[in-house]
A and B are shown apart, each in its own frame.
Chain A
Amino acid sequence: MWINWVNRQANILEFTLSSLLRRRGRNAALVLVYTAVVSVLASAMFFTHSIKEEAAMLLDGAPEIVVQRMVAGRHDLMPAAYIDAIRGIRGVSHVKGRLWGYYYDAAEKANYTLIAPEGLAPGRGNVAIGSGISRSRKAYEGDLMPFRAHDGSEMNFRVRKIISARSELVSADLMLLSEEDFRALFGIAPDRVTDLAVGVSNPAEVITVARKVAEALPDTRPILREEILRTYEAVFNWRGGLMAVVLSASVLAFVILAWDKASGLSAEERREIGVLKAIGWETSEVLRMKFFEGAVVSLSSFLMGVIAAYAHVYLADSVIFAPVLKGWSVLYPEFKLMPSVDFYQLAALFFLTVIPYTAATVVPSWRAATTDPDAIMRT
């Protein structure tokens, strides 16, 4: 009994495939566009999912509270005396002044992030540089790097170490140097720091401590680690930025595609349905044939699109997105994202692409299949 049923379906599928192959040029173009739409959407999905996951894992080690000083709506250097003021707040476990800033390298037209880390600096006159800087400046261990100081004088630093390329996602543009060199380069007074990293003994008290800091020092602005984490959760949000650009273009392309299908059948397709009905096909069989047609096109495109997207993001390092992501950055990290596939996201993409297209194929056919075959063939 069921063998008969399977044979019947196989025959309908065979007929469907023959019918698709008869219009192979048109259908191949359709599959190509459809695959591209799915692939771009899935690439954006894979990319943003991986970045978000990696950011969440990495930035869990960020300072619990960062306190910045604001003057006229801009960050300003923080008096070191603020350290003691914050240390006096109950619940604060430690306060560290951070010394960091940006250096614009006019020769390379690139921005570097300079940090003078406490206890980890490479010693006076030396620097440790990220592999992004090393690549763009062609600077390697032992080389001298000239920098223009705040007073116009030249300062030379010897490259002691290139930070491992594996950590490029956080360190591509970093340059670590001693506190003395940092202050001399930028002309920062010894009683000033860039901002403060505050530790809180009890995680439940972080918000209270932040509030107390803002009350005690009204010209400061505390940023919680939770806010940092949320920033990266929302940074590639579907509502803004990359996802919106990709989504709107892809959805528009898809809507045009589906609309073209749903708005009616071609004369040839109508005649085909008429002939099938005239030679004894039932309406349900015609509909099944059309369902198979939609499913073959959309399922094939979906599967190929997802595979292409995975290869693009994780094997080819998002080569198509790179020009968009690089923007004006001369110094762009070359990082490999950790492959991470979210089954629910794939399922959502499946329901958003395969189901509407298949439905759009069946609906107009249903109208044609329920009409008198003679009338269809005469139109």
Chain B
Amino acid sequence: MQIGRKTAWYMLFLGASLVLVMLIFAHAALTGPYYEEALEEKAAMVKALGLTDLCLFTEARYTRHPAMADLGTAFQDHPLSLEHFPSGSVIAPPRHLRNP
């Protein structure tokens, strides 16, 4: 079988990329135990303190605790006030408020 130089290089690149993609799956599986320990610590804290939300955005009440937000959230500052915190455009409102 004759394979040209460029084809050989491309196959090498393709093979290396595929190996790296496989390594992604391996990395995700192998690092699991390390993260699980931290996950258990966090889960224990959620249970002990009765937490309801992840600490993702601390700029406003409804982004710090989206699960606790209510239907008045959109007008929290004054009627007709538009929601103005950047993280409000990054996350969607809770489903139970959209379909009450």
* Of A164, A241, A330, the contact of B91 (CB 8 Å cutoff): A241
Q: Using a CB-CB cutoff of 8 Å, which residues 22-45 of chain B contact chain A?
A: 24-25, 27-28, 31-32, 35, 37-39, 41-45
Residues of B within 8 A of A235 (CB): 66, 91-92, 94
A328 and B86: CB pair below 8 A?
yes
Residues of A within 8 A of B31 (CB): 338-339
CB contacts (< 8 Å) of B82 on chain A: these are none
Residues of A within 8 A of B3 (CB): 10, 14
Given contacts A18-B6, A96-B50, A325-B90, contact A338 B32 (CB under 8 A): yes
Inter-chain CA distance A70–B71, complex, in Å, is 11
A residues 289-324 in Cβ contact with B at 8 Å: 296, 299-300, 303-304, 306-307, 310, 314, 324
Quick one: which of A215-259 are within 8 Å of B by CB? 221, 223, 227-228, 230-237, 239-242, 245
Chain A residues in the interface with B (C-beta under 8 A): 3, 6-7, 10-11, 13-14, 17-18, 21, 51, 54-55, 57-63, 66, 68, 70, 73-75, 96, 98, 102, 110-113, 115, 117, 120, 130, 132, 163-164, 166-174, 176, 197, 221, 223, 227-228, 230-237, 239-242, 245, 296, 299-300, 303-304, 306-307, 310, 314, 324-333, 336, 338-341, 343
User: Count of A-B contacts with CB under 8 A?
Assistant: 237
Min CB gap A178→B, angstroms: 14
B70-100 contact mask (Cβ, 8 Å, vs A): 1 or 0: 1110011000000001110111111110000
Residues in A whose Cβ lies below 8 Å from that of B86: 324, 327-328
Contact B52 A59 (CB under 8 A): yes
Is there an interface contact between B96 and A230, defined as CB atoms closer than 8 Å?
yes
Interfacial chain B residues near A328, Cβ < 8 Å: 59, 85-87
Closest Cβ neighbor of A346 among chain B residues: B21
* A329 lies within 8 A of B41 (CB): no
Task: Select the residue from A61, A239, A299 with max chain B CB neighbours within 10 A.
Answer: A61
Interface residues of B, Cβ cutoff 8 Å to A? 1-7, 10, 13-14, 17-18, 20-21, 24-25, 27-28, 31-32, 35, 37-39, 41-61, 63-68, 70-72, 75-76, 85-87, 89-96
Cβ–Cβ contact A59 & B46, under 8 A: yes
Does B56 contact A132, Cβ atoms closer than 8 Å?
no
Contacts of A307 in B (CB 8 A): 17, 20-21, 24
**Can you list 5 A-B contacts (CB < 8 A)?**
A7-B1, A13-B4, A111-B58, A227-B95, A235-B92
Closest to A221 in B: B70
Does B17 lie within 8 Å of A304, measured CB to CB?
Answer: yes
CB distance from A295 to the nearest CB of B (A): 10
**A171 engages B39 (CB within 8 Å):** no
Q: Cβ of B28: which chain A residues have Cβ within 8 Å of it?
A: 314, 339-341
- Distance of A10 Cα from B56 Cα, bound (Å): 51
B6 in complex: contacting residue of A21, A241, A310, CB < 8 Å: A21
Told that A58-B42, A62-B50, A230-B96 touch, could you supply 19 new A-B pairs with CB distance under 8 A? A21-B6, A51-B54, A59-B52, A130-B55, A166-B42, A167-B45, A170-B45, A227-B95, A231-B67, A235-B66, A240-B93, A241-B89, A245-B89, A325-B57, A328-B59, A333-B55, A338-B31, A340-B28, A341-B24
The answer to whether residues A7 and B94 also contact, given A73-B71, A327-B85, A332-B58 and a CB cut-off of 8 A, is: no
Q: How far, in whole Å, are A120 and B50 apart by their CA atoms in the complex?
A: 12
Q: Kindly report which residue of chain B lies nearest to residue A228, judged by CB atoms.
A: B67
Contact A62 B66 (CB under 8 A): no
Contact present for B21 and A17 (CB under 8 Å): no
